[in-house]
Amino acid sequence: MAPCCIATPSRNTGSRRIIVEASVSTNRSPSCSATSHPPRSRRHSPMNDSTAFPQVFAPGLLNGQVALVTGGGTGIGLGISELLAELGAHVVIASRKPQHLDAALAAITARGHRASVVPLDVRDPEQVKAVVDGVASAHGRIDLLVNNAAGNFYAPSATLSPNAWKAVVEIDLYGTFYCSQAVQH
C-alpha cells in the first residue's frame, strides 16, 4: 500500500479557489502513483499560511482571549499554541514534560507573543482542577480550551498490554473529560 493524493473538486470561494487533497492508503493503481502527485511540504500548505484565509486568521482576532492548550508542548499542540498566540491570545501551555514546556515557551515568546506554561498530568482530576483554577485566577478567565493531550503507542492495538491501553484511555478520554468539566465550573 502506498499513499496517494486524491484531489476533490475545487470550490469557488470568491476570488480564491481551494483544492482539498487527502492522503489515503490504497493499492497503487496505474492512474495514481506516488510520483504523479508529489507531496507538498508542510511549509507550502495553505493551512500554514495565515494570509490564505484572511477572515479566519485575522490579526488580532483573539486579542484579550486566554487559551489553555493541553499537550501544547510539541507537535499539533505546539502548532495550535503558536497559531493562537499569533492571533493575539495569551496561551497557557500545559504538558507533563517540563522540557517540552520550556521549549514551547521559548518558541512563542521569541516571536513576541504572550504565553505561559504549567505542568499538568490530565489523568489526575485534582491536578486538573488546581491548574484550571490557577489559570482562571491568574488571567481572570479561560476563553478557549484545546484538549490536545493524548497518549498513544506506535503498535498494533492487538499487541498493547492492558496497562498501555489504560494509559491511552486515561489520557485521551478521562483527561479530556476532566479538563472540560473543570473549565465549566
Instruction: Domains for the chain: give ranges and CATH numbers.
Output: 2-39 (no CATH), 66-184 (3.40.50.720)
Higher model confidence: residue 16 or residue 177? Answer: 177
Per-residue pLDDT for 129 more than 70?
yes
Higher model confidence: residue 38 or residue 165? Answer: 165
What is the per-residue burial (b if ≥16 Cβ within 10 Å, else e) of 127-156?
bbbebbeebbeebeebebbbbbbbbeeeee
Higher model confidence: residue 15 or residue 163? Answer: 163
- List, for residues 60-106, the tens digit of each pLDDT value: 999 999 999 999 999 999 999 999 999 999 999 999 999 999 999 99
Higher model confidence: residue 131 or residue 34? Answer: 131
Per-residue pLDDT for 28 more than 50?
no
CA-CA distance, 42 to 104, in Å (whole number)? 19
Per-residue pLDDT for 128 more than 70?
yes
Contact 92, 171 (CB under 8 A): no
Q: Is 153 left (phi over 0), alpha (psi -120 to 50) or beta?
A: beta
Check: pTM over 0.85? Answer yes or no: no
**Per-residue pLDDT at 185:** 77
CA-CA distance, 122 to 128, in Å (whole number)? 6
**Per-residue pLDDT at 56:** 76
CA-CA distance, 7 to 110, in Å (whole number)? 37
Per-residue pLDDT for 30 more than 60?
no
Residue 49 banded pLDDT, cuts 50, 70, 90:
low
For the record, the C-alpha cell of 75 comes out as: 507537535
| Residues 6 or more apart whose Cβ sits within 8 Å of residue 84 | 62, 67, 69, 91, 144, 146
**Per-residue pLDDT at 51:** 66
CA-CA distance, 12 to 17, in Å (whole number)? 5
